[in-house]
A and B are shown apart, each in its own frame.
Chain A
Amino acid sequence: MRAREAGLQLIASFIRLVCGVRPLTGNSLPPGPKVFYANHTSHLDFTLIWAVLPQAERLITRPVAGKDYWIRNKVTRFVGCDIFNALLIERKHITRANNPIEQMHRVLESGLSLIVFPEGTRGTEPVPAAFRSGLYHLSMACPDIPMIPVYLENLNRMLPKGTILPIPLISRITVGSPLPFKADHGQRDEFLTEARQALIDLPELESHE
């Protein structure tokens, strides 16, 4: 077990080195399970969020990823499941039995955190696309879980869709404070718009420091 943890720490340092970022200091994050939601621009996205977390947080944080993509072959399965311990969800043919929201709910209840990308797919623009309803349903299902916006920059320039060798640019990751509001019935679109705006506002807030 110790070898695995050391290995994960090494992988995290390597990812930070490639992306040119420093690790987060732990005290800025609320304790207990939480949901990190971010703009999605490349495959580096979830690895970078995972890599900047303090080791204790990293060990209990699972990225949520599309099952169809990550079970394609042995390599993607090894990377997705064995290294990053991803929670694989169905993107098509969703039934009661494999409902992603319920899966995520169960993971959060067991005390683990999640990384989600509410745009649903990777975008190429700096501003994230309109959010799909998943984040709203998740917030409805677990109203006590803090939702933390994370803004990622430059990663789609480093590893655009269809490429596997990252160009070593300096990326930026901005982790915000938990959303001050919660989802409630009938306010779906407002919740999603506000959650998205909180994400978009992050880098500007940061630069005023």
Chain B
Amino acid sequence: MNDPGIHYLVGGVLIFLTLASLITALLWRLSPAPKEKPVLQNLASRIRAWWVMVIVFAIAILIEPMGTILLFAFISFLALREFITLTPTRAADYKALAPAFFLVIPVNYLLIWIEWYGFYVIFIPVWVLAFIPLLSAIGNDLDDFLERSSEIQWGILVCIYFLSHVPALLILDFPGYAGSTSKLLLFFVIIVQASDVLQYIWGKSLGKHAIVPKLSPSKTWEGFIGGVGSATLLGTLLWWATPFEWWQASILSFTICLFGFWGGLIMSAIKRDRGIKDYGGILGGHGGILDRVDSLCFSAPIFFHLVRFYFT
């Protein structure tokens, strides 16, 4: 981990976070009754959670590649747990759920660890998705069978397979960029998360026109355009950390912001359908793990395959 690029990226995030903490503290100090302002409270707890997330993530990527792979395996576990908790599975689904947690997660991440790309790409989409409904079926309870088994499939696909494309970036092989894939992973995560944060900031300050009013009043055109635009700009400015030209970094940043936004929208639709606000309560101010990684889940496989197709 001697690459100075990694240090610049992590240092930049820490500086940004420190600034955010200082600004929030200042706003808190200036507000006459900060405890009665839900936005300010939410902001303060969000930033606290960000500190924890950034520190955990920074430690994980320093232990390359083991730390990153283990961290994402654990995030998959927590995300799947949140997802399955909200789906109407029944006791008969035990036979499908036990292997989903105790077999699919370890095997999927082990395949990344041993860099067996060919089996990794088909393990979940082919083998697991074919077996899971079978295991549900032999549970001998056919009420809502299709709904139950497809929701377990969805959970596995989004929370394990899609999400695991983030650490899978580590096994990409670029000519002339060997040993620097942690930097690419960091670039990707920074852009997706920055896009979320910037959408939040733009939306809170200027947002007026909801994109899908039925789904979420806080996802506005102003937030979307401002957030995706500024995150794309950030991605362009960080091109030096990637194996791409500046204009390629720009196009890729725009694409991952777009898919990240769609991911957030899709996962919100599921929450709306279930009548809940958050997937869980593990991250103060953010809701559950799945509320934080929804945009990563959907942009990671797209980014991974675009990069793999054009650059390796």
Q: Which residues of A contact B (CB under 8 A)?
A: 20, 124, 154, 156-157, 160-161, 163, 165, 167-170
When the two chains form their complex, are residues A169 and B98 in contact, meaning their CB atoms are under 8 A apart?
no
Interface residues on B, range: 10 to 19
* Smallest Cβ-Cβ distance to A163: which chain B residue: B94
A167 — which chain B residues lie within 8 A by C-beta? Answer: 84, 94, 97-98, 101
A157 — which chain B residues lie within 8 A by C-beta? Answer: 89-91, 93-94, 97
Across the A-B interface, give the 7 residue pairs with the lowest CB-CB distance, nearest first: A160-B91, A170-B85, A169-B85, A167-B97, A160-B94, A168-B81, A124-B91
When the two chains form their complex, are residues A168 and B82 in contact, meaning their CB atoms are under 8 A apart?
no
* Smallest Cβ-Cβ distance to A160: which chain B residue: B91
* Smallest Cβ-Cβ distance to B82: which chain A residue: A170
CA distance A169 to B90 in the complex (A): 12
When the two chains form their complex, are residues A170 and B81 in contact, meaning their CB atoms are under 8 A apart?
yes
- Jot down 17 A-B pairs with beta carbons below 8 A, ordered by A: A20-B280, A124-B90, A156-B91, A157-B90, A157-B91, A157-B93, A157-B97, A160-B91, A160-B94, A163-B94, A163-B98, A167-B94, A167-B101, A168-B81, A169-B85, A170-B81, A170-B280
Least Cβ–Cβ distance between B265 and chain A, in angstroms: 24
Say if the beta carbon of B102 comes within 8 Å of chain A. yes
B84 — which chain A residues lie within 8 A by C-beta? Answer: 167, 169
* Smallest Cβ-Cβ distance to A156: which chain B residue: B91
When the two chains form their complex, are residues B102 and A165 in contact, meaning their CB atoms are under 8 A apart?
yes
Say if the beta carbon of B77 comes within 8 Å of chain A. yes
B85 — which chain A residues lie within 8 A by C-beta? Answer: 20, 154, 169-170
Describe A's contact surface by its main secondary structure.
Answer: loop
CA distance A178 to B94 in the complex (A): 34
Least Cβ–Cβ distance between A52 and chain B, in angstroms: 15
A169 — which chain B residues lie within 8 A by C-beta? Answer: 81, 84-85
Q: Which of A124, A156, A161, A168 has the most CB of B within 10 A?
A: A168
A20 — which chain B residues lie within 8 A by C-beta? Answer: 81, 85, 280
When the two chains form their complex, are residues A168 and B91 in contact, meaning their CB atoms are under 8 A apart?
no
When the two chains form their complex, are residues A165 and B91 in contact, meaning their CB atoms are under 8 A apart?
no
CA distance A3 to B85 in the complex (A): 35
A170 — which chain B residues lie within 8 A by C-beta? Answer: 81-82, 85, 280
CA distance A161 to B280 in the complex (A): 27
- Cβ-neighbour of A161 out of B90, B91, B97 (below 8 A): B91
Cβ contacts B41-77/A at 8 Å (1 or 0 each):
0000000000000000000000000000000000001
* Smallest Cβ-Cβ distance to B88: which chain A residue: A157
Least Cβ–Cβ distance between A65 and chain B, in angstroms: 21
* Smallest Cβ-Cβ distance to A171: which chain B residue: B85
Least Cβ–Cβ distance between A71 and chain B, in angstroms: 26
CA distance A160 to B90 in the complex (A): 9
Least Cβ–Cβ distance between B91 and chain A, in angstroms: 4
Cβ contacts B242-271/A at 8 Å (1 or 0 each):
000000000000000000000000000000
Q: A157-B89, A157-B93, A161-B91 are in contact. List 17 more A-B contacts (CB 8 A).
A: A20-B280, A124-B90, A157-B90, A157-B91, A157-B97, A160-B91, A163-B94, A165-B102, A167-B98, A167-B101, A168-B77, A168-B101, A169-B81, A169-B85, A170-B81, A170-B82, A170-B280
Least Cβ–Cβ distance between A3 and chain B, in angstroms: 31
B90 — which chain A residues lie within 8 A by C-beta? Answer: 124, 157
CA distance A167 to B93 in the complex (A): 11
CA distance A114 to B280 in the complex (A): 31
Least Cβ–Cβ distance between A56 and chain B, in angstroms: 26
CA distance A154 to B93 in the complex (A): 13
* Smallest Cβ-Cβ distance to B91: which chain A residue: A160
Q: Which of A20, A124, A161, A170 has the most CB of B within 10 A?
A: A170
CA distance A154 to B87 in the complex (A): 11
B92 — which chain A residues lie within 8 A by C-beta? Answer: 160
CA distance A115 to B89 in the complex (A): 28
A156 — which chain B residues lie within 8 A by C-beta? Answer: 91
B102 — which chain A residues lie within 8 A by C-beta? Answer: 165
B81 — which chain A residues lie within 8 A by C-beta? Answer: 20, 168-170
Cβ contacts B98-114/A at 8 Å (1 or 0 each):
10011000000000000
Least Cβ–Cβ distance between B147 and chain A, in angstroms: 15
Least Cβ–Cβ distance between A166 and chain B, in angstroms: 9
When the two chains form their complex, are residues A165 and B98 in contact, meaning their CB atoms are under 8 A apart?
yes
B93 — which chain A residues lie within 8 A by C-beta? Answer: 157
CA distance A156 to B94 in the complex (A): 10
* Smallest Cβ-Cβ distance to A22: which chain B residue: B281
Least Cβ–Cβ distance between B222 and chain A, in angstroms: 33
CA distance A59 to B39 in the complex (A): 42
CA distance A156 to B85 in the complex (A): 12
B101 — which chain A residues lie within 8 A by C-beta? Answer: 167-168
